[in-house]
Amino acid sequence: MITRMSTLFLRTLREDPADAEVPSHKLLVRAGFIRRVAPGVYSWLPLGLKALRNIEQVVREEMEAIGAQEIALPALLPREPYEVSNRWTEYGENLFRLQDRKGADYLLGPTHEEMFTSAVKDLYSSYKDFPVILYQIQTKYRDEERPRAGILRGREFVMKDSYSFDMTDAGLDSSYQAHRRAYQNIFDRLGVEYVICKATSGAMGGSASEEFLAISPNGEDTYVRASEGDYAANVEAVVTQPGIEREIAGQPEAAIYETPQSETIETLVAWARSAGITVDGREVEASDTLKCLMVKITEPGGEPELTGILLPGDREVDMKRLEASVEPAVVELCTDEDFAQHSFLVKGYVGPVGLIANGVRVLADPRVVRGTSWITGADAPQRHVVGLVAGRDFEVEGFIEAAEVREGDPAPNGQGVLTLQRGIEIGHIFQLGRKYTEAFDVQILDENGKRSLPTMGSYGIGISRLLAVIAEQRHDEQGLNWPKEVAPYSVHVVVANKDAEATAAAEALVAELADQGIEVLFDDRPKVSPGVKFKDSELLGMPYVVVLGRSFKEGKVELRIRGGDTTELEYTTAVESIIDVVKN
C-alpha cells in the first residue's frame, strides 16, 4: 500500500498548540494525528486512525489467542440495567445522562458489565456453555471534570473491555491469569515500559485487582515499588503497616493544657517543646500529634454523614487514597459553614473525644492503635490534650487509608522500603466474582442440575490512551518515534532531489516495496523543500525513512532508522535490503 503525502489529508504544525502541556498532546496535534473538537473530545485524522487501528489489531490477536470472542454492544444504553447494579447512582456526575423524545432515560456507556451479563443470561443456561470470554473494542464516555493532556484523559475514548464467565472460582482464576499474560504480551509487543501494580477496584467492585501502569514522569498515578522483592502497588492500594500496640496500664492520665495560637501542627509542636513536654524522654515531634480531618461521606443515594479522620500529625491527607477507601461513596472536606452548624467543632482544636461524645463517626489511620498516646485537640478554643491514649480514652469505629504514602515508608512483608514513581494507567484487571451475576439473577444449571451463579472477571485496556502513552515514552526533540507494531506506515520515502530521474526512481522503489507487502508513506510533494520534508519525517516518526538525495547521483539511497543510525544502500539492491530490515 502506498500513501502519497501530496494527497494525504495532513497539515503538520511547527508550533505547539496553546492548550497542550505534555509531549504526547503537543506532538500528536502537531503531527496531524488528532484534532481537538471540544474539551476532552478529539477527531482522529488519517495517520492517527491508522496507528490506533494497529494497536487494536495487536489487542485482537492476543485476545483471540486466549479464546476470547469479539462482539459489539451499543454505546447508547437504557437506564434500567444500571439501576439494577446501582451504578446509575454510583457513577455520579461522571456519567453522561440523556433522555429520548419520550422522556426515557439513557446513558452513554462508560463500561459494559451490565450489558455483557445480560447477554450471557439471555443466551446461556447450562454449565456446558462455560467458560466463555467476550470482548469488544468500543468508544466509551465519561464526563471528566477536568479533561487534560489530550487523549490521555478525555471524555470520549476507545477502550477494549473483556469479561470472563466461569462456573467456579478456580475457573475465574484461570481466566484472570490468561488475561494477565495476554496483557503482558500486548504491552511487550507495543514496546511499552510498564509495571504491574496491586490496585483498588473502585466503582467496578470485586476482589482481586491489578493495574498496568506505563512508566512516565507525566503520569497522574503515583505507584510504589519495594526496594527489595517484587512488590508494586498503586498508591491508592498501599496498605499502611500498623502501629505497634502498647500497654495501657501505667500510662499517665490525659491532661488538658492551654495552647494559645496552636491551630496548626507546627505551632502545636513548638508549644509542646516550649512547655517542656516530652515523649519517652525526647522532644515532641509532629508524629506524636494527632490531627483530626473533618469530612462528609455520602453513600450512593444517601445523605452526607459527618466523619472525623484521625491522622498522625506528620502526615498530610491524600485525597485520592481517602476517596478510594470510601468508594463508591463520595467524600468532601467540611467547609466553614459545616463548622458553624456544629458548635462542638472548634477549628484547629477538634479531637476524637468531643466527636464521639456527639455521635460523630471516627475513623483512624492504622498507626493509631491500642495504647498509642497522642497530643490532640481538646474540643475547646486554645486547648489541647496531652497523653490521650487510644483504647483507653477513645475508641474508633474503624481504620481507613487516608494518609499520604512517603518515600522510605516500610514495604510489606519485610521487602525493604517504598520508592515513589509516576505512571499512566493503561490496563486494569478485576476478579469481579458474582456481584453482577447475582444482581441480574443469572441462574445456570450446574453439573448436578442445580441452579448456580457464574463468576466474572472484568478486564480493560485504554486503546486510545495507549497511543498517547507510546508517544510519551518514544519521542525526542524532533518528534515521534513509533515502534513497528504501531507506526501508520513501516517506511517513509522522501525524495530530496528534484531531478526527474530521482523522482522516477522513487516511484519504482515504493511500488516494489508495496508489492512486497510493505506499507509506504511517500513524500512526493514537488514544491516542498528537502528541509521541510526531513523535519516532517522526524515529526511523523515512522520507524524507517528512505531518502533519495544528493548521493542518488552515485546510485545510492539512505536508510535512516528513526532515532538511530543511517546507512547508505545501493539503489539496485535497496528494496531487498529495506525489506530485510523491516521484516526482521
- Farthest-apart Cα atoms in the chain, separation: 98
Q: What single-letter amino acid sits at 544? A: Y
Give the Cα separation of 329 and 324 in Å (integer): 9
Q: How many CB atoms lie within 10 A of CB 385?
A: 23
CA angle 233, 460, 452 (to 5 degrees): 100
430: nearest Cα among 234, 195, 179, 185: 179
Give the Cα separation of 176 and 182 in Å (integer): 10
**Nine cell digits for residue 562:** 528513526
Q: pTM to 2 decimals?
A: 0.86
- pLDDT tens track of the chain, all 584 residues? 899 999 999 999 999 998 899 999 999 999 999 999 999 999 999 999 999 999 999 999 999 999 999 999 999 999 999 999 999 988 888 999 999 999 999 999 999 999 999 999 999 999 999 999 999 999 999 999 889 899 999 999 999 999 999 999 999 999 999 999 999 999 999 999 999 998 875 544 456 789 999 999 999 888 999 999 888 998 888 989 899 999 999 999 999 999 999 999 999 999 999 999 999 889 999 999 999 999 999 998 899 999 999 999 999 999 999 998 998 899 999 999 999 999 999 999 999 999 999 999 999 999 999 999 999 999 999 999 999 999 999 999 999 999 999 999 998 878 899 999 999 999 999 999 999 999 999 999 999 999 999 999 999 999 999 999 999 999 999 999 999 999 999 999 999 977 889 999 999 999 999 999 999 999 999 889 999 999 999 999 999 999 999 899 899 999 999 989 999 999 999 999 999 999 88
Question: Pairing mode, if any, of strands 221-226 and 418-433?
Answer: antiparallel
Helices (H), 293-387: 319-326, 336-341, 352-357
Give the Cα separation of 536 and 12 in Å (integer): 7
215: helix, strand or coil: strand
- Pair 310, 365: CB distance under 8 Å: yes
Give the Cα separation of 142 and 149 in Å (integer): 15
377: nearest Cα among 290, 477, 274: 290
Give the Cα separation of 494 and 406 in Å (integer): 51
pLDDT of residue 204: 44
471: nearest Cα among 75, 22, 9, 6: 22
The HSE-up count of residue 404 (CA atoms within 13 Å, CB side) is 9
**Over 433-455, what HEC string results?**
ECHHHHHCCCCEECCCCCEECCE
- Pair 518, 491: CB distance under 8 Å: yes
pLDDT of residue 28: 98
pLDDT of residue 205: 46
The HSE-up count of residue 164 (CA atoms within 13 Å, CB side) is 30
235: nearest Cα among 205, 200, 202: 200
Q: What single-letter amino acid sits at 526? A: P
Query: Bridge partners of 164?
Result: 133, 457
**Nine cell digits for residue 459:** 478486564
Unique residue bearing C-alpha cell 492520665: 253
Give the Cα separation of 157 and 150 in Å (integer): 11
**Over 32-44, what HEC string results?**
CCEEEEECCEEEE
pLDDT of residue 169: 93
Unique residue bearing C-alpha cell 443466551: 123
Give the Cα separation of 307 and 304 in Å (integer): 9
Give the Cα separation of 13 and 26 in Å (integer): 10
The HSE-up count of residue 225 (CA atoms within 13 Å, CB side) is 12
Residue 391 sits at φ, ψ, to 5 deg, of: 90, -15
Question: Pairing mode, if any, of strands 76-78 and 105-108?
Answer: antiparallel
